[in-house]
Structure 1
């Protein structure tokens, strides 16, 4: 790949966990196209069949049934691999909010298993004696653009992590997923440091573009929420802009390229924000409305209140040598087209 020092061997073998997910399915295809051997892990082999014709790969693709919540489940999948992409953390908004002792229920049934699952995979990597690096896909949800006094920071970089207590107390849109990512990533870096594992994290913003999954990805639903009418996802879109001061996004191809880039670059370390562009909520809604002429969505007037108060910086990744291929209009237009083809959105009227 361009701009890498390629410390991995040219015919590297990689394990992609969560291979039937949005990023995972793209990443498997991208790695096979590069000539790599891929060990793709899935929870249900039957549900992955629709991807096999897309992936191709022949003998360079091996499927493994594995479950993050079963210790040792990934031992065979990571055996002989040079690197592992950790993507297998479920994005699930279907939580029973009526449960008694709700916070204890969330801790015991969602957060603790997510942390344990992440550590189970890292333990398998440790046992492999072949894995050189693990790339963990994190989320911008783990970050904040405000300081402890509630004031906007001028620059948001990889150090601007949310406090778990703040996420618990505010319970903003998507907060359970945010907590699972925040606590899992923290546990992963702690385990990696204690056990000598080379771990790098890519902090993904909201991902859009074409998808291969059997269901519409949650991030796509967030992007399309201004025109789909799905209020729960629009609440998440709004919560992101309230917390970050703007709405950042990235194309699916670019987030996959970034994952491969930091896997193969010898000097990659720590955390990297991955976002191609960011804009105000009103500008984003208006661009979506412009791209989908079927919609009767009312345009939001743009004014001085829409000025972006801080820079969500991707400088660390760019300084390492990475460059983005896709801008915001690419992301929106390709997402709309794929959603129409899938049947999630009505065809655009002529």
Structure 2
């Protein structure tokens, strides 16, 4: 409750997404009134969970599109906090500049303009990604990456990496958001989550969940993404979706101290270590060892540090692989990634 006894109100963009759906649920459980946005509220295949979440508290669903200026005005009006979670994710874009990078920056600024118009938003929490931190050439082992680390846009653009769109879009939207916030006096905090796992209300998870279950499912395309993360980053950095949502809320409610960007990572691991833990934890599925041929990292070459977040007073709940994977298999079965 706010001091006047009125429920605090939060806007979460992209409510049918994996992370946003978990954040909407947590905010409702914490007593917030929530307004969320989707591109097509009538698409029940993507939005049915939002109807279920309305049983937890006041949740309004608005139509909004990142490409349409002003379309977030109604959803943000009267809100105390705005959580910018919606973003284009097409990592296989044929033309990353036009299909991913420009829409990501434009969409972020569209929502921020709505926050300025609202005049009530005390803080904006922008969800970026560790992809804005880790995509850079690394020599040697033992690197610790923190909030001062940025993905190398010039290197990614020069090498014409086919996957450059996602990390470049995250760096550029972060920088554009920071400039805009400074110019318009907005209190902006950015979270850079690593590979996010765990159960969420969303009935679809096209993100890291299938990748992180690929050792059990045997899905070679999903495993190739996981392998690409380890090769490109130097580790598999993980965070449970509940811890990420708790960090989002922490960043919003931390009246004085929260500022700048925060890496949200509770554990740095490798595919080899993940395979050992999953083989032990889920023997009835069995790890698909044919995926593990070739050289494997035994220890992370790189660690992503959440020291800044922890120093601020945040504590991770899920700190071991066993704990982080606690609800993943049930969620995987619900999503059809794993057999029941």
Flag whether TM exceeds 0.5 (same fold).
yes
Cα deviation digits, residues 195-222 of structure 1 (max 9, x gap): 2111101110111111322323311012
Partner of 2:269: 279
Q: CA–CA distance in 1 between the matches of 2:139 and 2:299?
A: 18
Judge conservation of contact 2:92–2:163 (CA < 8 Å) in 1: no
Q: How far apart are the structure 2 equivalents of 1:340 and 1:123?
A: 40
Cα distance between partner residues in 1 of 2:35 and 2:298 = 45
* Residue ranges of structure 2 left out of the alignment (5+ in a row): none
**2:316 equivalent to 1:324:** yes
Tell me whether 1:176 sits opposite 2:165 in the alignment.
yes
Q: How does 1:253-268 map to 2 (within 5 A)?
A: 253-266=242-255, 267-268=257-258
Instruction: State the match for 2:195 in structure 1.
Output: 206
Specify the SS of the correspondent of 1:46. coil
Q: How many residues align?
A: 333
Describe the shift of the 1:7–1:244 C-alpha distance in structure 2 as closer, same or farther (beyond 3 A).
farther
Match of 1:77 among 75, 78, 81: 75
Of the structure 1 ranges 257-266 and 319-328, higher mean CA displacement relative to structure 2 is found in 319-328
CA distance in structure 1 between the partners assigned to 2:99 and 2:134 by the alignment: 26
Q: State whether residues 7 and 265 of structure 1, in contact with CA within 8 Å, keep that contact through their aligned partners in structure 2.
A: no
Identify if the C-alpha distance between structure 1 residues 225 and 182 changes in structure 2 by more than 3 Å, giving closer, same or farther: farther
Q: Structure 1 length normalisation: TM-score?
A: 0.86
Match of 2:50 in 1: 51
Per-residue CA deviation, residues 259-280 of structure 1 (Å, 9 max, x unaligned), is 0000000210001111111112
Q: Deviations over 1:84-108 (max 9, x none)?
A: 000010322453x4xxxxxxx3212
> Contact between 1:69 and 1:117, CA under 8 Å: does it hold in 2?
yes
- Matches of 2:4 and 2:153 in 1, distance apart? 35
Structure 1 residue 171, shift from structure 2 partner:
5.8
Partner residue in 2 for 1:100: none
Paired residues of 1:29 and 1:55 also in contact (CA < 8 A): no
State which of 22, 25, 33 in structure 2 corresponds to 1:26. 22
Q: Distance in 1 between matches of 2:98 and 2:8?
A: 38
* Partners of 2:143 and 2:91 in 1: CA distance: 32
- Does the alignment pair 1:14 with 2:10? yes
> TM-score scaled to structure 2, two decimals?
0.89
2:328 aligned to 329, 332, 335, which one?
A: 335
Contact 1:145 1:243 in 2 (8 A): yes
Q: CA RMSD in A?
A: 2.8
Question: What is the DSSP-based 3-state SS (H/G/I as helix, E as strand, rest coil) of the residue aligned with 2:192?
Answer: strand
Contact 1:208 1:219 in 2 (8 A): yes
Deviation at 1:113, TM superposition (A): 1.4
SS at match of 2:151: coil
- Which residue of structure 2 aligns with residue 306 of structure 1? 298
Separation (CA, whole Å) in 2 of partners of 1:167 and 1:290: 38
Q: What residue number does 1:159 align with?
A: 148
> Match of 1:84, SS?
strand
Q: Distance in 2 between matches of 1:171 and 1:295?
A: 38
Q: Given that residues 276 and 328 in structure 1 are in contact (C-alpha distance below 8 angstroms), is that contact kept between their aligned partners in structure 2?
A: no
In terms of mean alpha carbon deviation, does 183-192 or 167-176 score higher? 167-176
> Greater shift after overlay, 126-135 or 44-53?
44-53
2:31 to 35, 58, 61: 35
Structure 1 pair 129–54 and aligned structure 2 pair: CA distance change class (3 A): closer
Query: Does the CA contact (< 8 Å) of 2:88 and 2:103 recur in 1?
Result: no
1:239 aligns with 2:239: no
2:211 to 215, 222, 228: 222
The corresponding residue for 2:114 is 124
Deviation at 1:137, TM superposition (A): 0.7
**Structure 1 residue 151, shift from structure 2 partner:** 4.1
Deviation at 1:36, TM superposition (A): 0.8
